[in-house]
Chains A and B, each alone.
Chain A
Amino acid sequence: AQTVTQSQPEMSVQEAETVTLSCTYDTSESDYYLFWYKQPPSRQMILVIRQEAYKQQNATENRFSVNFQKAAKSFSLKISDSQLGDAAMYFCASPPTSGTYKYIFGTGTRLKVLA
């Protein structure tokens, strides 16, 4: 993808509830991947989930799932049964496509989990 946009600087969710973080992207590629990264406070950024564009099925990793709308160029992250440990910055990202080396990151969404 050439651009990645996260329009929600901050979100809050009650513990045990579900929250959806939004991401839109733009690309001229037909085959590509999209990632969600999590950066907990004072801890390393880690990959949460990845989606292959040509796969119809939305990726799922335990309580984390994506809603991938290829035509709309939308890639949102749903966190179910939110836990206090989910509080973090979340970045949507696009890895390099053919002929490039750059990972493109969104500006991030800070998720607060309320007890």
Chain B
Amino acid sequence: DVKVTQSSRYLVKRTGEKVFLECVQDMDHENMFWYRQDPGLGLRLIYFSYDVKMKEKGDIPEGYSVSREKKERFSLILESASTNQTSMYLCASSFSGQGWNEQYFGPGTRLTVT
């Protein structure tokens, strides 16, 4: 079974803190994604990586950065957390190419910034 794991299920941080969310996949997928999930807004793409050290901005990259030093690991960084970044964060991975390639998701990290 494909496994995508995320470092924390729940996280509480203070405004201004630097926050690291980590994601690991074990299927040798080329592509990895970070999404933010908010009620009524669905999934919004923050960043995407198609290879080690390669990244592309998604729809809402402001306030976030990412790191992919190894193929299996993709980190999301909040440089200075703010209350409007309180949300559910989902990591996903997939093989490259288009069409039928489904994404596999992690369990999510519910981040609260106070």
A residues 95-115 near B (Cβ < 8 Å) are: 95-98, 100-103, 105-108
* Interface residue range, chain A: 20 to 34
A61 to chain B, nearest CB (A): 13
User: Which of B19-27, B72-80, B94-102 touches A?
Assistant: B94-102
| A32, A46, A105: most-surrounded residue (chain B CB, <10 A) | A105
Q: Determine if A33 and B42 form an interchain contact, defined as CB atoms under 8 angstroms apart.
A: no
Chain A residues near B106: list those with CB within 8 A.
44
Q: Determine if A102 and B42 form an interchain contact, defined as CB atoms under 8 angstroms apart.
A: no
Q: Determine if B98 and A45 form an interchain contact, defined as CB atoms under 8 angstroms apart.
A: no
Question: What's the tally of chain B residues with a CB closer than 8 Å to chain A?
Answer: 23
Q: Indicate if A35 sits at the interface (CB-CB under 8 A).
A: yes
Among A43, A98, A106, point to the contact of B107 (Cβ < 8 A): A43
B residues 31-79 near A (Cβ < 8 Å) are: 31, 33, 40-43, 45, 48, 50, 56, 58
Cα A21 to Cα B105 in complex, Å, equals 22
Mask for A32-45, Cβ within 8 A of B = 1, else 0? 11010000001111
Q: Given A44-B105, A50-B102, A95-B100, is A101 in contact with B48 using a C-beta cutoff of 8 Å?
A: yes
A sample of 30 inter-chain contacts (CB < 8 A) reads A32-B99, A33-B100, A35-B102, A42-B107, A43-B107, A44-B106, A44-B107, A44-B108, A45-B90, A46-B105, A47-B102, A50-B102, A91-B42, A95-B98, A95-B99, A95-B100, A95-B103, A96-B98, A97-B98, A98-B98, A100-B98, A101-B31, A101-B48, A101-B56, A102-B45, A103-B33, A105-B42, A105-B43, A107-B40, A107-B42
19 additional contacts (CB under 8 A) given A33-B100, A44-B107, A95-B103: A32-B99, A33-B99, A35-B102, A44-B105, A44-B108, A45-B90, A47-B102, A52-B100, A95-B98, A95-B100, A96-B98, A96-B101, A98-B98, A100-B98, A101-B50, A105-B42, A106-B42, A107-B42, A108-B42
The residues of A with any CB-CB pair to B shorter than 8 Å are: 9, 32-33, 35, 42-47, 50, 52, 91, 95-98, 100-103, 105-108
